[in-house]
Structure 1
């Protein structure tokens, strides 16, 4: 049976909460997972245990301003600018390098946008060859059509953000728009670690990252080997159409797969109880097909 190991990752004077899902035996691959907005690493239901059961060791952390990395209310949503967000992600990735087994990076929603941004940032070009593959779940390339903030709201928010970057603003995500499972929606509503709060600086950075991806200003590094993107057609959080357009523009990547989940909502990992195994299998199958060690894989099944 897979086991969980809690820990911390220290960055300066900030201690970030971490958790690892370990296989029963030596791992055949490692996956680093980056969670989404108003989320934390313990909201991914059976996904991580399912991956660990197939030999994939999963490493995750609660990002600055989120989950168990928040030690007092003043830290809620205090993510810092994009430069800090990305350096936190890179710092955590480097805890697993060099890796004795192939290393993969995956992100959901805001975290998916961060992963795509990282894989496109020339500043981190030296990191790219160490990553075997990149996986994006419902990434924030653009907000779903009909749910975008108005242009005037964004404009005024940017002005205010320059004057008061740490000013906080509630940005609630309707639980019933995230998943088709009423029980998951209920747990989202009741989860005290989901505080719905961002700073003007953090929210602007998130929108800037998605705009750079959607407009083609951030393009995947030439050394990206493989990419997988999964998105539901009924996503009310992030745009299925924007993900598909961005994905199709990455013509420099030869090994890539876009997976359409017809009728699924935003949280593919927790959409319906009967679909969770399907999603976990898709992710695991894609990773295991790229590790080049079929005998070890078969021994884990």
Structure 2
């Protein structure tokens, strides 16, 4: 556990009785308190050797920061200090399940966590690793803190909804209902859209920290608004980036990654598309995931500062 989370415990002394949705006391867990007073659960993975840089994992909608163990193992091999938190309304953080009054709250909380880590490790560069909606959050973060982010790795970034998916139809309906029925359920995400690996799908379904409830109008509307505004943001981003996407993704349309690659101002940018692959490339068929990790491994090694002797 890093000194950052300990500082948060001191701030939280008056709320020592606050508990996670799973019934655990936050005083016993790494966490921070966001601007709205919500307690957000954190995870920290410190390498055994002096860290070369910091990497923040920005998870996607409906899941949580604990679903990246394989990614964390890869990052630790590069002597990277990895950190993450569960977004408000996700995992072990406070908040109504997958509901937010404004998409900017996700961005604000992410920036707060980054600032905390910067204060604790001012000499280390910061990288972002994100998937799906986490990629959308990361793009907004990069737009606000261009100089703070040394590089970004995206898996299936949410830049464009797949118009052939049921999710797209639900999002469109949300725009019509947002002012009248913000709590109305639009339906459920199909877990089989995350991977072609049956074991990974079952694991997703059985994970009690994942959100298994319906997508509601308010949440869908906020995501749509963020996607619409993205068009003006992409040309402002010049951060080095690696974009990985499966062309059979039924959630984040792969065409969004092509659009993103073409519009960002980054001179150092790479896009790699995997045929027939589904949404979560880091939890796809073993052959795909192995290749994805090799690409990430090489990309990092070419850009990270040398290991301290």
Shorter-chain TM-score range: 0.7 to 0.9
SS at match of 1:96: helix
Answering whether residue 280 of structure 2 is matched by residue 264 of structure 1, we say no
Q: Mapping of 1:178-193 within 5 angstroms?
A: 178-193=194-209
CA RMSD of aligned residues (A): 2.3
Q: Does the 8 A contact of 1:38 with 1:197 survive in 2?
A: no
Answering whether residue 183 of structure 2 is matched by residue 161 of structure 1, we say no
Q: Identify the match of residue 284 of structure 1 among 297, 301, 304.
A: 297
More helix by share: 2
Distance change >3 Å, CA 70–CA 272, structure 1 → 2 = farther
Aligned to 1:137: 155
Output the TM-score relative to the length of structure 2: 0.81
Aligned to 2:62: 38
Distance change >3 Å, CA 237–CA 155, structure 1 → 2 = closer
Please state how far the C-alpha of 1:189 moved relative to its aligned partner.
Answer: 1.7
Deviations 1:199-245 (A, max 9, x none): 422221112222333xx2322435x3312111111211111122112
Count how many residue pairs are aligned between Structure 1 and Structure 2: 278
Distance change >3 Å, CA 283–CA 79, structure 1 → 2 = farther
Please state how far the C-alpha of 1:141 moved relative to its aligned partner.
Answer: 0.8
SS at match of 1:32: strand
Q: Identify the match of residue 249 of structure 1 among 255, 259, 263.
A: 263
Aligned to 2:134: 111
SS at match of 2:130: strand
Extract unaligned runs of 5+ from structure 1.
none
Output the TM-score relative to the length of structure 1: 0.83
Aligned to 2:218: 201
Q: Does the 8 A contact of 2:153 with 2:242 survive in 1?
A: yes
Aligned to 2:10: none
Q: Identify the match of residue 176 of structure 1 among 163, 186, 192.
A: 192
Aligned to 2:110: 89
Bigger RCO (CA 8 Å, 6+ sep): 1
Give the Cα–Cα distance (whole angstroms) in 2 for the partners of residues 206 and 78 of structure 1.
11
Q: Identify the match of residue 55 of structure 1 among 79, 91, 94.
A: 79
Give the Cα–Cα distance (whole angstroms) in 2 for the partners of residues 182 and 285 of structure 1.
28
